[in-house]
């Protein structure tokens, strides 16, 4: 991918506002006019304090872009990749089929220092159960297991991911793997805020996908052919930000803190993404998403 997404300077501006003109107009305006000017000024200014290199937020119902930074800049998106992995599996169907966890997942997770759902090789789990392991604890072992089964084979599955991206019109997206890990390089799997919001919108239109990503945890009791499992959702907004219903966080040293998110309140829904937000360590924070959502919900008519 060469130098795609490698920016020498952090973009720190937002959409140009007209705060000075708005301030002058407020003095003489009638109350209704003042409210209109205030709303217009807020819309033009955008959310404050967003530190992500690339980000965007849209009205989910209308698709109207409310604010963006680096909207079409290609950047690595880490485990947000697993949204496409899940989407390909869900579209293929047969979610009640039982899949044996391959022994290769242990070496794969260790080799890449990857996030894991703690799957036990030899266990037989349904594809639906593996989707929870994929999307909640962001298990690379679950991604490997699903890709191997639904390819069939890893290479064939990755080809399906890229074919699906092309079909959806995600023209600035490429997958080199099924989990967003930084190989063969940190920039080999990439997308843009515009493409990721589109992917998120399509994925959330699936009742199966939507019902999984808004769960804070998921438990499987031990049964015939498998051990017991308990997975917590790594999404930092769930249970913290009122109205949050998904979607998927991700982190690698190259991608930084990333979050594809959606929230709904009072009949209004907003969907957005932040790529390479400030943060320490691998635990993704929801600070930038919170700033964007707070701002979007504050708009009276968008």
254-290 CB burial, b ≥16 within 10 A, e <16: bbbbbbbbbbbeeeebbbbbbbbbebeeeebbbbbbb
CA distance 34 to 273: 31
Q: Residue 201: name the closest of 151, 270, 139, 153 by CA.
A: 270
Is residue 157 helix, strand or coil? Answer: helix
**HSE of 159, CA atoms in CB hemisphere, 13 A:** 8
DSSP classification of residue 101: P
> Token digits for 170?
């995600």
Is residue 94 helix, strand or coil? Answer: coil
> Token digits for 273?
């993404």
Active site residues: 79, 82, 138
Give one DSSP letter per residue of 234-290, joined into a string: --TTTTTSTTEEEEEEEEETTTEEEEEEEEEETTEEEEEEEEEE--SSSS---HHHH
């Amino acid at each position: 991918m060469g130098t795609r997404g490698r920016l020498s300077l952090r973009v720190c501006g937002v959409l140009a506002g007209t705060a000075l003109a708005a301030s002058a107009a407020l003095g003489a305006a009638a109350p209704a006019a003042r409210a209109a000017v205030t709303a217009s000024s807020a819309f033009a200014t955008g959310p404050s304090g967003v530190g992500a290199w690339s980000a965007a937020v849209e009205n989910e119902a209308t698709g109207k872009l409310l604010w963006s930074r680096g909207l079409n800049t290609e950047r690595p998106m880490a485990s947000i990749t697993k949204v496409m992995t899940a989407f390909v599996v869900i579209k293929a169907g047969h979610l009640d089929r039982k899949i044996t966890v391959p022994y290769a997942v242990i070496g794969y997770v260790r080799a890449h220092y990857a996030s894991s759902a703690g799957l036990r090789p030899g266990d037989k789990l349904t594809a639906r159960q593996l989707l929870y392991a994929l999307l909640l604890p962001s298990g690379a072992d679950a991604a490997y297991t699903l890709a191997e089964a639904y390819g069939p084979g890893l290479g064939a599955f990755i080809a399906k991911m890229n074919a699906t991206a092309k079909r959806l019109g995600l023209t600035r997206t490429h997958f080199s793997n099924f989990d967003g890990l930084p190989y063969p390089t940190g920039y080999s799997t990439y997308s843009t805020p515009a493409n990721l919001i589109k992917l998120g919108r399509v994925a959330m239109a699936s009742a199966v996908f939507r019902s999984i990503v808004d769960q804070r945890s998921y438990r499987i009791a031990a049964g015939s052919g498998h051990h017991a499992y308990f997975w917590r959702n790594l999404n930092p907004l769930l249970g913290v930000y009122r109205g949050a219903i998904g979607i998927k966080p991700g982190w690698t040293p190259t991608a930084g803190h990333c979050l594809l998110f959606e929230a709904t309140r009072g009949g209004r829904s907003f969907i957005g993404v932040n790529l390479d937000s400030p943060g320490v360590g691998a635990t993704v924070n929801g600070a930038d998403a919170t700033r964007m959502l707070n701002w979007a919900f504050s708009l009276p008519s968008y």
